Structure 1
Amino acid sequence: MTAIVECKGITKHYRQGSIDVPALRGVDLAIEKGDFASLAGPSGSGKTTLLNIVGGLDRPTEGTISIDGQDLTALDNEELADLRLRKIGFVFQAYNLIPVLSAVENVEFTQQLMNVPAKERRERAKEMLHQVGLDGMENRRPSRLSGGQQQRVAVARALASRPSIVLADEPTANLDTKTAEDLITLMSDLNERYGVTFLMATHDDRVISRTRRHIVIADGRVASDELRPAEMAV
């Protein structure tokens, strides 16, 4: 297997007044190409901090983290932003779509930042919207889409730049049961058909039960890391 993400000895401390608060305490973790993994743990366990560090949105206090063999801790802020753009797709709990842009324009947005030619990025955006089941909704703005449809646009946007890994932070938190289950099925299908690597921070048992790898963070450490046969992910 090929590691997309490698964390070695990751610690993260925050200052609260005069108090030093540890959020992560020496995390070693590798995410392999093609993983479909959940990252769980109670509130305050450090899972969101770890996801933010993996995504290059925050920096560790100590330790190293690499994406596709590139050491994030050695990059300056501009280099780190470029790596995020090219290597990491993000799916957020609140969708984070741009309200004045249509669905297809939202999917095109990261490609535009990457200077993908207009014709190519439009074709790629339409194909991704087709893959997530939004044919005919390309020109709708977020206000004319349901929550589940907005999250599908977010998934399409995350995948359109062809990242090495997609990071999802509580992707089903704002969705009803049926919509959440449909979204999980969509992401699972994309993982199986195209080998897209997913790491999802979640409290949702519906997500956890469908992932083939289940990582639990407790008190800033990896408490368990379970790899399950595909037939056990239901």
Structure 2
Amino acid sequence: MRYLVYIDILGFSELVKSDTVTVEWLYTVIDELNAHRHHEFKTIVFSDTVLIYSEKSCVDERCHEYLSMFAVEFTQDLFYRISRRGLFFRAVIDYGEFEHSRLTNCEKFYGQSLIRCYELEKKILCIGTFITDSAAKYQHIFPMARYSDELLFVFFQQRYYQFSENYTGWPNLTLGVIDQECAVNSIAQEMYLFKKMTKSARCHANPNVRQKYLAYVEFYRSRYPWPLDAWQARGFGMLTIGVPGDWMPVYRTIVTSQY
């Protein structure tokens, strides 16, 4: 029994047809993921699919908590690396049977958990990370919400929801106050990403794709409405949520860092 993270990069086939430069960049990013450096996990990459799995089975609650937390964090790591280029994914985390080993001339990998993740991922009308009940049992770090009978949605944009929880209703909130409490650039980055996803939810040419972005944004809006409600209603910017200050240098840094 292992923790298995099944990640499907969305829009990959169209990307291969139209933008091989970004495809090469994407593989460079995948090659640098934190998962490769964790001694408890191994990674398999083929085409638009990334598999990350724990090498050992857990025998106590502490092990489960540790591995399930990192399983989510690996998807969080990928999200912040590729979303800045407008690339997103669906991920399913499960705890179950999975085998992987190297033979003389090839590798074998199979298992009920892999089949389950594959089948569940194809049914999801949303982007982001989802977790089965068996994998979520000991996952106490990231908030979750029920998506279906078989899956929970995982809130991994920690900087956004912590900002929402800590500053909703805060009087006289300023750039200086935020800078003392947390990274200003991090909050601006969250705003920028929600701006991109909201635009895709409203304007993408494919209605099915619009639905997936909308579903993701709605999970956050329904649980952590501020400042996302205000951003969507008044325009994406920290001034629109009543945080005065010279935000232009921060915005320039964020936009420049996307490329």
TM-score by length of 1: 0.30
Q: In proportion to residue count, which structure has more helix? A: 2
Query: Which structure has more RCO (C-alpha within 8 Å, separation ≥ 6)?
Result: 1
Larger Rg: 2
TM-score by length of 2: 0.28
Q: In proportion to residue count, which structure has more strand? A: 1
